[in-house]
Chain A
Amino acid sequence: KQEVTQIPAALSVPEGENLVLNCSFTDSAIYNLQWFRQDPGKGLTSLLLIQSSQREQTSGRLNASLDKSSGRSTLYIAASQPGDSATYLCAVSGWVAGTALIFGKGTTLSVSS
């Protein structure tokens, strides 16, 4: 059974710092991995999708990498801003169409000004 772990559970940084969020998964046979952002009481916003054949994806100040063989992904946030404060979740999908996205418990990020 696929399990997804995110470390750290919480992170506080001053504005301007670069930071890395970690996601690991137990079964490397994933179809893709997706990073989401969630603000309190709100829906999940997709940040980046990495297909299993890809190594990384970039969007603005965000860069996500995937090492499928070691079961790891990282989300790198450059020059953090207070508006980046949110919970970041990673989720993996399997090869069978329509199977569940399996989520980690998330990393709650707080960026202070």
Chain B
Amino acid sequence: AAGVIQSPRHLIKEKRETATLKCYPIPRHDTVYWYQQGPGQDPQFLISFYEKMQSDKGSIPDRFSAQQFSDYHSELNMSSLELGDSALYFCASSTRNTEAFFGQGTRLTVV
């Protein structure tokens, strides 16, 4: 069965650089979520989209932005990267009555 695909799996960037993370949800899932997870932390909600419209917003820095495209894939754009942005970034997708499925994550390291 198709799962949530995230790319890249690993990313190393320098401070003040820009990064783009991509997420391909499970087909026919109408909701996409983005989460950030630091070492030893629980997942922190960043932003979500329902039917390609932003539906909820969490603790997402102003330096970050996200969008969902017509083919339902989503991208998280991160600018002016800081050391503290180093974390695992997860994307998840779901429909209203199904489980949320998470991708394997993108490990971002800012040096």
Residue of A nearest to B104 (CB): A43
Given known contacts A97-B55, A99-B48, A100-B56, A43 and B42 CB-to-CB distance under 8 angstroms: no
| Residues 17-71 of A at the B interface (beta carbon under 8 Å) | 31, 34, 36, 41-46, 49, 51
In the assembled complex, the CB of A52 is this many whole angstroms from the nearest CB of chain B, namely 11
Q: Which of A31, A45, A51, A98 contacts B50 (CB 8 A)?
A: A98
- Tell me whether A100 and B99 are in contact (CB under 8 A): no
Interface residues of B in 92-106 (CB under 8 A from A): 92, 96-105
Cβ of A7 under 8 Å from chain B: no
Question: Are B103 and A98 interface neighbours, CB within 8 A?
Answer: no
A34 contacts B103, CB within 8 Å? no
Instruction: List the B residue with the shortest CB-CB distance to A104.
Output: B42
Q: How far is the CA of A31 from the CA of B43 in the complex (A)?
A: 20
Q: How far, in whole Å, are A101 and B43 apart by their CA atoms in the complex?
A: 10
Residues A101 and B99 in contact, CB atoms below 8 Å apart = no
Tell me the complex Cα distance, A98–B49, Å. 6
Measured CA separation A58–B101 after assembly (Å): 18
* Given known A43-B104, A97-B31, A98-B31, contact A103–B48 (CB-CB < 8 A): no
Counting contact residues on chain B (CB < 8 A from A), the size range is: 20 to 34
Interface assignment of A109: CB less than 8 Å from any CB of chain B? no
Q: A98-B50, A99-B55 are in contact. Are A106 and B42 (CB under 8 A)?
A: yes
Residues in B neighbouring A72, C-beta threshold 8 A: none
B45/A46 in contact, CB under 8 A: no
Q: Does B72 contact A (CB under 8 A)?
A: no
B58 interface contact, C-beta 8 A: yes
B33: Cβ under 8 A from any A Cβ: yes
Q: Give the distance to chain B from A3, nearest Cβ to Cβ, in Å.
A: 12
Taking CB atoms, residues of chain B closer than 8 Å to A89 are 42-43
7 new A-B contacts, CB < 8 A, other than A44-B92, A98-B56, are: A36-B102, A42-B104, A42-B105, A89-B43, A98-B31, A99-B56, A104-B42
Which 6 residue pairs of A and B lie closest in terms of their CB atoms, listed nearest first?
A: A98-B50, A98-B55, A100-B45, A44-B102, A49-B99, A46-B99
